[in-house]
Structure 1
């Protein structure tokens, strides 16, 4: 019996049961309606007539009810048949179009009653061959006993039974891994087993691929992981080419991390994203071209270099959903199962993307540590080698170790010129003679010095800015010139070069940091060189000063010795002059004692007094530590006492008051001042207080702005005569005073005789010093 029969006889039974109840109620109502109008006109009939009429009415109502029932049953039967056919059509559509295999099995015999086309396609049998086949024959021989036991279990217990880990055997003998779901149902009062069989071969392949991916992830990291991934993908998909590419957004290219070609791991390569299938994949979704790829992407086909018919790619994203690359698989044949390829690539892409991000982070961390270590080593060397030559060597060696260029150059800016401090190749065998001087504004280094900005060229052979032929002759391809700036001024240029094409923009941040470190080191070296030169100059100056000081000390010793000798000699001279003057004074005194010269006693006495005044000056000089100056206040005290003794004037009768400031007079002024004071004080002692009168003599010394000295000698004696005239005087004393003051001292003399006598002597002095 087929499934069509089971489906066809199912619904009409229930509908008919429902419809059989409805006419009973409707029929009863109809009979009532017919009997009422039939009874009313017959109320006047006889009993027999009434009986006949009643029988006739009942028969008529029955006939009408039967007619209605027949028509209603036929209609509902027709409706049920239409619904059954629609339900059967839907069932048949679901049954035949299902992707999984469906079997209707007789639980008693275990044979297949019916199956859908998916079951025939999966096993390779026809529908006629499948119908009536025993269910255990679907399995290989080693699983048939298990299949029979599972069928008995479903038949006895009912419910739903899940069967996994079994196989169905195709007509050609190959095995298909399947998962089976079996359930007992009732159809048209007959028990049947419905089994849904799903081909899990693709799922098993996917699971196996995932297990391999997990195994690869746990066993390998970084580059080994990527190479294992392309190998596993090539094996799982039977692909001809697989590659994992990293998207370089700035360049618009794809650079492979790992690649598989021609049955082995291939060298990495880089290709332009534009015009390739990956242009429609990066940052978007999984794409698959099942065939004729070369016709769709002719530029990519020409670049690829080998025939590719199909292509599948999946985008790679990082943890923040930013596109970072592509996972691509190429085939030389059309793809028969694109969905499986897409699923596999999605699974691998979900794992490869984070691994690329982690690998990049680790690479950046290692690069950062390497750069930090190189920068630290460079800083240490720059600190420990302060000289300019050592700094240049340390900087060049540190640059080579830090970024591994082929060549490093270091220039020092001097005005409009760049002086080459050093050039160092990475390979010791490479040698080249460079010009020692370069111009600011010329070539890449000169432009960097002129603008204070880095100048980078990826290929100097085609760069018109590069005018230094030495670079081209040395085989340099890529070059970066970095200004070394200190205090806003370019003090030098650091140049790094590569003989192969290299993009120094990728290292621009680290190069800038290196340039700053070299700038600090170079500035310190320049300061050190400047300090060294200053130290050398200072040392030479100190040596010269030491020599001069030694010479001066020697000369000072000689001068001191000579001065000491001169002081002793000068003291001796003053002492001898004083002694000679004493001798002259003694001779004059002896002369006055001789007979016959009484008239000249006064003249000789005055001369003797004057000589003593001069001798007193020389006495003060040789007794003083300063042999060049005389303390005027000290001299006045001694002079007054000396004159008081000469003239026999008691201090109780004539008092002398000396006041004012101390003034030191040079020897050429001290003698005339001494003579002037001697005459003025002598004049007061002799003439101001006649006949034993008492009085007072005041001597006042003052200084005017360290340029003039003023000496006032006054007394309160009798004063001068009213007819006193200095010009007509015949006496020697005041004439001597006037001549000494005006001619020798270049000063002035004021005489006042109002209530006594007052003499004011004012004269300029070249050097005035307060006595200690």
Structure 2
């Protein structure tokens, strides 16, 4: 072990001189302090690798000195020295923060045991310091990675928002109602993905999405884009606080976008008022249930999809990645679509 510097607090100068000679032959330095004030002066004015602390001092005890050191924020390793019949005192010192203890004897064993205890205490302190530095480096690296990922999500969300804006311009210039409708659906899909990325860069955890907050923003955006005098429909959300991975949040957003869009288009007759409800409920710690329902004309799952059928294919594909896939409940008023969600990444 490389040379170390030790501060020895003991009012018995003879014992300290023996330790100084023994450790000096090994290349180490021992500085003597005969009182607490002297010890604190040395510690504040110099660099030491360890403190050797005797229990019995003139006007105090080693326990009281240990307490003073901890109150002063001194975390240097301490080797406690006490008499052969006072093991309980040494144990109390360990509980108070000493790194090790040695029983004082008149033989040579004391010097070798003390040397070993000092070396081991210093080595352990160095290992703890190295671990603390490594932990801090890991923490800083994690913070940098999360900041970078948040910035990436921010830029992706902005880019997708720009694409959605360009689609709005294209919609306004399109002459065909059918083309306008298809472009509006595409815009809604892009907006759903952009909203997920926006959730990530505004969240403390850039790997998971708070699904209830994400759906709250998504349904508001869908309502603003789909609601009109011809479609006086309310869009309602009831969502438990559920966290889900980012990739699954994309699928949930796409499923909700498609089902809500279909509800606005087909659930009610033109001009007819009604509700579309998006419900997210926790079933267990690892499972949740997403439901989109209305009180309209209902749906026949076996019938051919209306329009191009792209929305139906998207819903089935995305729902399959979330759990057991999409199912429509029978015997209900209106259409009730359910999608079970596995919240973990397991099978």
Structure-1-length-normalised TM-score: 0.29
Equivalence for 1:646: 225
Equivalent of 1:628 in 194, 207, 210: 207
CA distance in 1, matches of 2:176, 2:272: 31
5 Å-filtered alignment, 1:338-487, equals none
Q: Which residue number in structure 1 is paired with residue 270 of structure 2? A: 691
Query: Residue 568 in 1 paired to residue 113 in 2?
Result: no
2:188 matched to 1:609?
yes
* Residues 78-100 of structure 1 deviation map (CA, whole Å, 9 limit, x = unaligned): xxxxxxxxxxxxxxxxxxxxxxx
The corresponding residue for 1:764 is 342
Work out whether 1:748 is the aligned partner of 2:318: no
Q: Distance in 2 between matches of 1:667 and 1:699?
A: 20
Indicate conservation of the 8 Å contact 2:219/2:237, yes or no: no
Partners of 2:291 and 2:336 within 8 A in 1: yes
Aligned to 1:126: none
Cα distance in structure 2, aligned partners of 1:608 and 1:634: 21
Which of 681, 689, 709 pairs up with 2:260?
681
**Cα contact 2:223–2:235 (8 A) shared by 1:** no
The answer (yes or no) to whether the contact 1:689–1:717 under 8 Å persists in 2 is yes
SS in 2 for 1:705: coil
CA 1:536–1:677 in 2, change beyond 3 Å: closer, same or farther? farther
Task: Tell me the TM-score normalized by structure 2.
Answer: 0.61
Query: Post-superposition shift, 1:582?
Result: 1.3
CA shift digits 1:202-260 (9 cap, x unpaired):
xxxxxxxxxxxxxxxxxxxxxxxxxxxxxxxxxxxxxxxxxxxxxxxxxxxxxxxxxxx
Q: CA deviation digits over 1:130-155, x for unaligned, max 9?
A: xxxxxxxxxxxxxxxxxxxxxxxxxx
Match of 1:701 among 268, 277, 280: 280
Alpha-carbon deviation of 1:611? Answer: 0.1
Q: Among 527, 532, 536, which residue is 2:102 paired with?
A: 532
Counterpart secondary structure, 2:204: coil
CA shift at 1:563, angstroms?
Answer: 2.8
User: 3-state SS of the aligned residue for 2:102?
Assistant: helix
Give the corresponding residue for 1:487. none
Residue 299 of structure 2 corresponds to 720
Cα 1:723–1:661, aligned 2, differ >3 Å: closer, same or farther?
closer
Structure number with greater CO (CA < 8 Å, separation at least 6) is 2
Aligned match of 1:590: 169
CA contact (8 A) 1:729 1:735 kept: no
Measured against aligned partners, the alpha-carbon deviations of 1:515-542 in whole angstroms (never above 9, x if no partner) come to: xxxxxx9776899899528998876665
d(CA) in 1 for partners of 2:150, 2:135:
21
SS of aligned partner of 2:281 = strand
Q: Structure 2: 5+ residue runs without aligned partners?
A: 1-11, 16-82, 92-99, 104-112
* Contact 2:227-2:233 within 8 A present in 1 as well: no
Determine the C-alpha separation between the residues in 2 that align with 1:671 and 1:541.
54
**Which runs of no fewer than 5 residues in structure 1 stay unpaired?**
1-383, 388-520
Count of aligned residue pairs for this structure pair:
247
Provide the rounded CA distance (Å) in 1 between the counterparts of 2:183 and 2:278.
27
Rounded to whole Å, the distance in 2 between the matches of 1:752 and 1:703 is 19
SS at match of 1:691: coil
Cα distance in 1 for partners of 2:116, 2:179 equals: 78
Q: CA deviation at 1:684?
A: 1.7
Is the Cα contact below 8 Å between 1:699 and 1:713 reproduced in 2? yes
Give the Å deviation of 1:559. Answer: 2.8
Matched, 1:655 2:225: no
Contact 1:665 1:767 in 2 (8 A): no
C-alpha deviation, 1:649, in angstroms: 4.5
- RMSD, aligned CA: 3.7
1:237 corresponds to:
none
Q: Aligned partners of 1:531 and 1:601: how far apart in 2?
A: 82
Is residue 672 of structure 1 aligned with residue 251 of structure 2? yes
